[in-house]
Structure 1
Amino acid sequence: MPRLLLLLLLLSPLLATAQVYKHVDQDGNVTFSDIPAPGSEKIDVPVSNTVAAPPVVSRPQEEPADALVSYQVAISSPEPEAVIPRGPGNFSVTVTVSPAPDTSMQLQLFMDGDAYGAPQSQLQWNLTNVPRGTHQVQVAIVDSEGETLAQSDPITVYVRRPSKNF
């Protein structure tokens, strides 16, 4: 069946240019065909109106200004696998960003996958009273709608604090 349909589609331009014949039988039934029958008359079918398609004009897609800039975010402090010594669990996170983000963009710190505080424009966070244990730290550039434009690779830090058990 699909082959027959394909054949008909391929032959349809030829059918459009074929002759048409009109035949009226003894009961008055009218039949149109491309094959002449005895007593049939040739019908002149006018050429159908055709209009050429307008030329395709390709215009370059305009990209949002934010999409044209590729930001690089990296945590410069603390070092990956850093051990925060015994104490109250205080340390700073510092990042470098290139190129400098637009004023409508801010930096969001993530600790263990959760947003830590509100987004800010400063490149440093002073963390206090971080619980003991292993933590993943990451920073992202977010636009005014909160969409992430770029993010740093996560780093692992180990916080050592006195335990109540000891």
Structure 2
Amino acid sequence: MLRLFLMLSLCVTPGYAQEIYKVVNQDGSVTYTDKPVVNAEPVELGPDNRMSTPTPQPQPVQTATTTSKASKPKPVIEVVQPKPEATVRNNAGNMTIAANVSNADKQGKFKLYINDSLVKEQSNAVFQLQGINRGAHTFYITHTDNTGKTLASTSPQTFYLHQASRLINN
């Protein structure tokens, strides 16, 4: 059975290497065919555009270097919600901005700035907001220690708040 399949597949293979012809119809449309007809021009195909992928080389295993216990990794803040350039739809202007913090101390404050104005300061990185006006807003979050020193900050991100038109039902 396997030999029969192999023989049939070898017979079919030359069908893929046939000549291709281009025919311009009376209405100006172009038709491509594998059969030569009147006024057909053979099409020259370019070289294959396949690329060979290099084989990956194994990376050497890195051993962990001993670090002193006094050096702590820097805190990192990543905005989880809303995503960059996200559209938030809420007629009341309510929304949540949430961030994920790694390597941060339990103490300290998170500050939310919207359009370069401090909006909220609290001890966790999830901000519940009410009454945000419609339109585009740029925000960022900072994490400060108890002395006010900024430990980490997000890059500015933009979100768009959509609300139903105030002109409807007036």
Q: TM-score, length-normalised on structure 1?
A: 0.54
Shift in CA distance, 165/121, structure 1 to aligned 2, threshold 3 Å: same
Larger radius of gyration: 1
Matches within 5 A, 1:1-166: 68-99=72-103, 101-117=104-120, 119-165=121-167
Q: Which amino acid aligns with 1:115?
A: L
Shift in CA distance, 89/122, structure 1 to aligned 2, threshold 3 Å: same
State the Cα RMSD in Å. 2.2
Give aligned pairs, total.
Answer: 100
CA deviation map 1:41-83 (0-9, x unaligned): xxxxxxxxxxxxxxxxxxxxxxxx9984311111011111111
State the distance in 1 between where 2:107 and 2:162 align. Answer: 37
5+ residue gaps in structure 2? 1-68
State the distance in 2 between where 1:159 and 1:84 align. Answer: 5
State the distance in 1 between where 2:95 and 2:167 align. Answer: 24
Q: TM-score, length-normalised on structure 2?
A: 0.53
Report the CA distance between 1:103 and its aligned residue: 2.9
Shift in CA distance, 66/115, structure 1 to aligned 2, threshold 3 Å: farther
Report the CA distance between 1:162 and its aligned residue: 3.5
CA deviation map 1:118-166 (0-9, x unaligned): x222221111110011101111111112221110112100011234455
State the distance in 1 between where 2:153 and 2:72 align. Answer: 16
SS of alignment partner, residue 110 of structure 1: strand
Q: Which amino acid aligns with 1:80?
A: P
Instruction: Give % identity.
Output: 25
Report the CA distance between 1:105 and its aligned residue: 1.4
State the distance in 2 between where 1:161 and 1:154 align. Answer: 23
